[in-house]
Every structure is written in C-alpha cells, then in structure tokens.
C-alpha cells in the first residue's frame, strides 16, 4: 500500500473542523493559513477526492472529508497517547492546550502569550473541542491543560483558582474555577423574533451541553416556548445555521460579535457559564497557574 496519511496534515484537517475555518486553524496550530491549505490539499491528493469545498467565505466538509475527519481524530489520539506512554516528552516538547470552542476567540490569544512567555522552549499547540471531550483528553493525558465550561452555578471568585492549583485541585475531577464567561443571544442580521406565544427556534449543540440547558431554562422561566431548529456537534455548524437564519444561538458575549451574526435583544438574559482549568497528572507544576492567570485576566475584563 503506497498511500500514506501523514500526521501533520491530519492535525491541520482536524483543526479546520474544530476551529471553524482555515484562518482560526492556522492561529491555533501556530502556522500560516497557506500551510494549512497545503496540508488539506496533500490529503486530497492521497484520497483523490475533495475534502473541503468553498461555501461562500467559509469551507464545508464533503462526505469524504467528514469520513476522513472521524478517522483522523482516532489516528491522532492513538499517536499522541503512544508517544506519551513511551515517555517521549522533554523540557522543549509540545504543550497541548485545550479550550472550549465557545471561549476560544477570547481566551486563546492570552493563553498562548502567557504560556510562550513561561515556557519559551516549548511549542504550544491548541485543541478546540467540546468540554466533555477535553476533560476526557486531560484524564487520558493527551491534553496538558484545558479550559472547559462547567454546569456549576455555585458562587466563586477567580482568585480562588490559584489556591486550588497550589493545593493540587486543578487535577481533580472538576478542575479549578477560573472565572465566568458572559453569554448572549445572537442571530442573523434582520432575524425577527416570533411574537410571544409562538415557539422560538433555537440553534444548539447536541447533548450534553450546559449552554443548551441554560438557554432552554432561561426561555422557560420567561414564559417562552423553545423549539430546536438545528443541532450541531461543533461551533462551525452552530454559526452556519444561525447565519442561515434557522434560529437564535447562545454564544460567548464578552468579545467581538461572531462574523455574520448580530446580538439579539428582547430575550431573557442568560447566566454566565463557569470556566474551569484542568491539568493532566504529571504536568509542569506552573502550567495550571499560568493558564488560570491568563483566563482570569480575560474574564475580569468582561
């Protein structure tokens, strides 16, 4: 068999899916956008079929692309776990940082800057995914530190994170509290809310999803009936469906507005989501504290 699926192009392909496009994938992988495009073209040449096609200003995965994406995730997980089991780590190795897609735009620049300053000899690589999968990746050691959304609604202060890390709390099941992510309603420009008494179409992540539950609860408490218009596994699908006018979506509201969407008024406010920082067992002791400080700085500004 002469066909070979190289690890580096596969990592770029997964990043395109998880980051919602080539530009964000390049930023997460710390390479150029043209390099990401070349990696995808290399995979297309191996399979002799298109994997990602242009859909307006964005990319859309073909059926072949979706199939390879599922295989790529399995290959990369096996590859990274094998290296870790073999002890292929050093002081100048790669730090794998996970982040919930909801918080990526706001948190990644700060976290990247902080970690590169604290660990100048180490390459920082990002993985954007659902919080549940990131938590599992931290537990199995394929991600070094992750910022995840939590369903926890108990009161807390961001400064408590430092004490928790000092006591080893960040490696516990729930991680250490590091602040709260503001949430807002967004929809396509010109989207009109149905009148009171009529169902409100929602664009949501498939279950389990803490933000989905908060949206439904907030609408129910305000006497509005939600109806699920679209479910998606990743943020790219949520954004595409909302831009198409299928319904309203709950997204991070502390930074700039998502491209092609506008904040939506006239709906009940949503309680901010708790952010927690988790680190794998055996990670550098200062890793969690550095990541938490970066998260705290971002959320404090909002």
pLDDT by position in tens, the chain (length 302): 578 899 899 988 988 876 777 887 787 677 888 999 999 999 999 999 999 987 655 678 888 998 898 888 888 878 877 776 776 654 456 788 888 877 777 677 778 788 888 887 777 777 878 888 888 888 877 788 888 887 665 544 444 444 444 334 444 446 778 888 888 999 999 899 998 888 999 999 888 888 888 889 899 888 899 999 999 888 888 888 999 999 999 988 765 677 788 988 889 998 888 888 888 887 777 887 888 888 777 776 55
pLDDT recorded at residue 169: 41
CA distance 270 to 207: 18
Helix axes 104-118, 285-300, angle to 10 degrees: 140
H/E run at residue 115 = helix 104-118
Of 60, 30, 55, the residue nearest 40 (C-alpha): 60
Token pair 């961001």 in the structure block, residue: 158
Name the token pair of 44: 């297309």
pLDDT recorded at residue 170: 43
In the chain, what are the domains?
1-88 (1.10.10.10), 183-271 (3.40.190.10)
Helix axes 22-29, 33-47, angle to 10 degrees: 110
- The whole-model pTM stands at 0.62
What does each C-alpha distance from 152 to 92, 105, 115, 126, 179 come to in angstroms?
Answer: 36, 22, 27, 25, 11
Question: Quick one: 163 exposed, middle or buried, by C-beta within 10 A (0-12, 13-18, 19+)?
Answer: exposed
> Half-sphere exposure of 239 toward its Cβ, with a 13 Å CA cutoff?
20
């Amino acid at each position: 068999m002469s066909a070979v699926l190289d690890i580096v192009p596969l990592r770029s392909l997964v990043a395109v899916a998880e980051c919602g496009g080539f530009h964000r994938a390049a930023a997460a992988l710390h390479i150029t956008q043209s390099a990401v495009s070349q990696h995808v073209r290399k995979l297309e040449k191996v399979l002799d079929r298109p994997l990602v096609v242009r859909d307006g200003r964005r990319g859309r995965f073909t059926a072949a692309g979706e199939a390879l994406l599922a295989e790529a995730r399995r290959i990369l997980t096996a590859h990274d776990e094998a290296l870790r089991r073999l002890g292929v780590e050093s002081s100048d190795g790669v730090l794998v940082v996970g982040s919930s897609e909801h918080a990526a735009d706001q948190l990644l620049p700060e976290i990247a800057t902080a970690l590169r300053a604290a660990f100048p000899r180490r390459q920082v690589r990002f993985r954007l995914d659902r919080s549940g999968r990131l938590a599992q990746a931290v537990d199995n050691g394929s991600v070094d530190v992750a910022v995840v959304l939590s369903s926890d609604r108990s009161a807390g202060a961001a400064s408590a994170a430092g004490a928790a890390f000092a006591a080893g709390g960040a490696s516990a099941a729930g991680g250490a509290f590091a602040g709260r992510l503001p949430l807002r309603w967004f929809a396509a420009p010109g989207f009109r809310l149905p009148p009171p008494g009529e169902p409100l179409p929602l664009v949501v992540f498939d279950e389990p999803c803490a933000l989905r539950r908060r949206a439904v609860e907030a609408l129910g408490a305000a006497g509005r009936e939600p109806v699920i218009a679209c479910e998606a596994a990743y943020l790219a699908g949520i954004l595409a469906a909302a831009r198409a006018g299928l319904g309203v979506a709950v997204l991070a509201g502390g930074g700039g507005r998502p491209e092609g969407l506008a904040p939506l008024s006239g709906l009940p406010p949503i309680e901010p989501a708790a952010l927690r920082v988790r680190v794998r067992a055996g990670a550098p002791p200062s890793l969690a504290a550095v990541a938490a400080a970066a998260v705290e700085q971002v959320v404090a500004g909002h």
